[in-house]
């Protein structure tokens, strides 16, 4: 079966990751080792889907700088279609400085750079790549006005919209919320949006009801190592996470969102798409890094076959 078209809208950053023994205190200078990795939520999600064998389009804004060229190349190498990517003369690409201590604790500073200058007009131009039946995934790193335009285009273009509200920002209109088919916050984002502290599936159920009141047709709340809770107008269920040996949880949510979109595009029913996306995220946390930790479709299938054997034993 030919998959439905897929398009991501979001941010791209160059992550400067310093590994340090421990995080510095103010005024202190420490030695660490630097690794440069492609990152940004939108880019991670698009790469997750591409690693699973899809050929998603991606709208993002890059600077006309060395980082931008490296980021564009790495998206292309991963199999992401970059026709809608804007390379912006005179602007700097987004970058993040990440410090990770030996105990896994981290500190992050982001300069969004070119990501912040997406406008309603630039999003509308990129939306020319949305074909009928497309699944569109948007995260909240691009400005609200630009997101609003994307949501407003939905009625006309007839796409399905997965909205990952990260990082949470206020100001999205009621009409925009109503255009969302699936909202996919993690626990922190759910708290910021609803005021409900999600500690398990019971509190997730309560929070999901509140999320649906904003207007989305379905809510998927991710609860880290616990899994995911799903609710729409007529049904709800919990999908437990797979027990794995965790090495680095960076981009777990991006793996989940990219995977969910990819499996929906391949025609899987929602519950099956969530189960497979849960496997994608589980495999992601067993490896270090963001985009380089995204599994292929084959690895996901082998992992799930193994789980089935374990469940039968």
Interface residues toward ligand ADP, by CB under 6 A: 186, 222-225, 227-228, 241-242, 244, 246, 249, 252-253, 256, 278, 281-282, 285
Assess contact for 75 and 83: CB atoms under 8 A. no
Distance CA 4, CA 131 (A): 9
Where in the sequence numbering do the catalytic residues fall? 254
Strands 13-19 and 218-222: unpaired
Distance CA 287, CA 245 (A): 9
Rank residues 109 and 246 by Cβ distance to ligand ADP and give the closer one: 246
Task: Report the nearest approach of ligand ADP to the CB of residue 244 (Å).
Answer: 5
Task: Report the nearest approach of ligand ADP to the CB of residue 5 (Å).
Answer: 25
Distance CA 231, CA 32 (A): 44
Distance CA 7, CA 188 (A): 26
Count of residues making up the chain: 313
Rank residues 127 and 220 by Cβ distance to ligand ADP and give the closer one: 220
Task: Report the nearest approach of ligand ADP to the CB of residue 258 (Å).
Answer: 11
Rank residues 159 and 303 by Cβ distance to ligand ADP and give the closer one: 303
Task: Report the nearest approach of ligand ADP to the CB of residue 309 (Å).
Answer: 19
Rank residues 227 and 258 by Cβ distance to ligand ADP and give the closer one: 227
User: Taking Cα atoms as reference points, which of 107, 96, 94 lies closest to residue 28?
Assistant: 107
Task: Report the nearest approach of ligand ADP to the CB of residue 48 (Å).
Answer: 11
- Return the ∠ at Cα 110 (arms to 18 and 251), rounded to 5°: 70
Phi/psi for 221 (5° steps) reads -100, 125
Assess contact for 242 and 226: CB atoms under 8 A. no
Distance CA 83, CA 114 (A): 17
Beta-bridge mates of residue 227: 240
Sheet holding 160-164, edge to edge: 57-59, 6-9, 135-139, 160-164, 182-183, 218-222, 227-232, 236-240
Burial environment of residue 80 by CB neighbours within 10 A (0 to 12, 13 to 18, 19 or more)? buried
Task: Report the nearest approach of ligand ADP to the CB of residue 52 (Å).
Answer: 15
């Amino acid at each position: 079966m030919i998959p439905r078209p897929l398009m991501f809208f979001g941010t791209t950053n160059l992550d400067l990751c310093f590994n340090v023994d421990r995080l510095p205190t103010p005024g202190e200078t420490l030695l660490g080792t630097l690794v440069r990795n492609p990152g940004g939520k939108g880019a991670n999600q698009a790469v997750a889907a591409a690693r699973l064998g899809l050929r998603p389009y991606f709208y993002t804004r890059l600077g006309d700088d060395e980082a931008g060229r490296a980021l564009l190349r790495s998206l292309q190498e991963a199999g992401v279609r970059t026709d809608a990517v804007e390379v912006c003369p005179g602007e700097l690409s987004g970058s993040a400085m990440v410090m990770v201590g030996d105990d896994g604790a981290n500190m992050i500073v982001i300069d969004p750079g070119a990501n912040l200058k997406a406008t309603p007009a630039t999003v509308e131009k990129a939306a020319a790549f949305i074909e009928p039946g497309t699944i569109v995934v948007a995260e909240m790193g691009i400005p609200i006005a630009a997101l609003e335009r994307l949501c407003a285009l939905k009625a006309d273009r007839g796409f399905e919209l997965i909205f990952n509200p990260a990082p949470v920002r206020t100001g999205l209109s009621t009409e925009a919320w109503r255009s969302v088919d699936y909202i996919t916050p993690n626990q922190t984002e759910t708290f910021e949006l609803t005021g409900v502290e999600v500690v398990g599936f019971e509190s997730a159920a309560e929070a999901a009801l509140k999320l649906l009141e904003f207007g989305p047709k379905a809510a998927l709340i991710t609860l880290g190592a616990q899994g995911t809770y799903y609710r729409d107008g007529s049904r709800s269920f919990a999908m437990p996470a797979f027990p794995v040996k965790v090495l680095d949880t960076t981009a777990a949510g991006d793996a989940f969102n990219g995977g969910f979109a990819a499996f929906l595009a391949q025609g899987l029913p929602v519950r099956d798409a969530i189960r497979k996306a849960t496997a994608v995220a589980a495999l992601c946390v067993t490896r270090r890094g963001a985009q380089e930790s995204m599994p292929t479709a084959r690895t996901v299938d082998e992992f799930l076959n193994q789980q089935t054997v374990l469940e039968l034993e």
